[in-house]
Amino acid sequence: MAVGGSGDAGTERPILAVREGGSWSAENTIPGLSGPGVTDFNPGADAAGLQVSCWAAASCTVAGIYGDHHGNQQAFAASWAGGHWVTQTIPGSAELNQGGQALTNALSCGADGGCAVAGQVSVNPPPDPDVSVQSFASSRVGGSWRNAQEIAGIDNLPDSSALAASCPPAGRCVIGGFYNVTGNSQQAYIADENTLAGTNDTGSFGGARLVAGNLNKGGTAAVNDISCPRAGECAISGFYTDSHGKQQGFIATQPAATATALTLSPAGSRPATSTPNA
């Protein structure tokens, strides 16, 4: 499956194409954006599918953004299973999005159909001149999306964004990104889904934890990507800024028997090839 944005008389429209039996379908708009599950969808505003994740044949999820009738940008998720789509505003995200600018940055689905979508919402409503953004995440457990939540933790993550997500085949997704602290310092963080899918999982994420803070002498760091082949076993990559002002890459692993490695050594790092816009 592929998804992207297309132009229509200056307005972006989300498109999708589905591959079944080795052949790609024609491109179509994502079904259901104008349906009852999507809050205040404005067909005259921009919309885009930004991420896609498939966990089985004919079972995929798309995440993206759309414009509402109030000039705001909201977040949606659309899931394709059994030959039809179910599209909805990510539950609770519009309520968190007080500043009207939601963005999905990452989506991952495990083999059991459990998913996590992560990004940012703006939290200060206009006309407040000091609009700040806050990380949010929502997980899907048992076929239902749970209410989006702001990721709290270190200093309550002022001005933060979730950039990466990974869901192993059987539950406990992990997200990561960056947050800003006083003095214009930017730190990297991760947050774990609380419990395993298939139990009494509430689908919530725990507080953020600092990653590579000991290396970040220059004050700019972020988690760019996460991969979790099994629950409790992940690799995390990102960048930090060294004492000479140069950005360097890092890799951290999460063995099943230990907590995520929060303190890293330069010997385990590699040069960064790209960095996000902070």
**Residue ranges per structural domain of the chain:** 1-89, 106-278
- Tens of pLDDT, residue by residue over 94-124, are 999 999 999 999 999 998 888 999 999 999 8
- Give the pLDDT of residue 47: 93
- Report how far apart, in Å, the C-alpha atoms of 117 and of each of 15, 53, 121, 175 are: 19, 10, 13, 9
pLDDT-derived band at 156, boundaries 50, 70, 90? confident
Residue 3 pLDDT more than 50?
no
The C-alpha atoms of residue 48 and residue 5 are separated, in whole angstroms, by: 5
- Report how far apart, in Å, the C-alpha atoms of 164 and of each of 11, 194, 245 are: 28, 17, 24
The C-alpha atoms of residue 11 and residue 16 are separated, in whole angstroms, by: 16
Determine whether domain 106-278 maps to CATH 2.120.10.10: yes
The C-alpha atoms of residue 125 and residue 100 are separated, in whole angstroms, by: 7
Q: Mean pLDDT check: name the lowest of 27-31, 66-70, 179-183, 248-252.
A: 27-31
pLDDT-derived band at 84, boundaries 50, 70, 90? confident
Q: Which residue has the higher pLDDT, 121 or 55?
A: 121
Residue 35 pLDDT more than 80?
yes
What tokens does 139 get?
Answer: 């997980």
- Give the pLDDT of residue 83: 72
Q: Mean pLDDT check: name the lowest of 46-60, 101-115, 255-269.
A: 255-269
- Tens of pLDDT, residue by residue over 215-248, are 999 999 999 999 999 888 899 999 999 999 999 9
The C-alpha atoms of residue 87 and residue 90 are separated, in whole angstroms, by: 9
Q: Which residue has the higher pLDDT, 260 or 175?
A: 175
Strand, helix or coil at 268? helix
pLDDT-derived band at 134, boundaries 50, 70, 90? very high
Question: Taking all residues of the chain, what is their mean pLDDT, rounded to a whole number?
Answer: 82
The C-alpha atoms of residue 225 and residue 242 are separated, in whole angstroms, by: 20
Q: Tokens 């309520």 identify what position?
A: 95
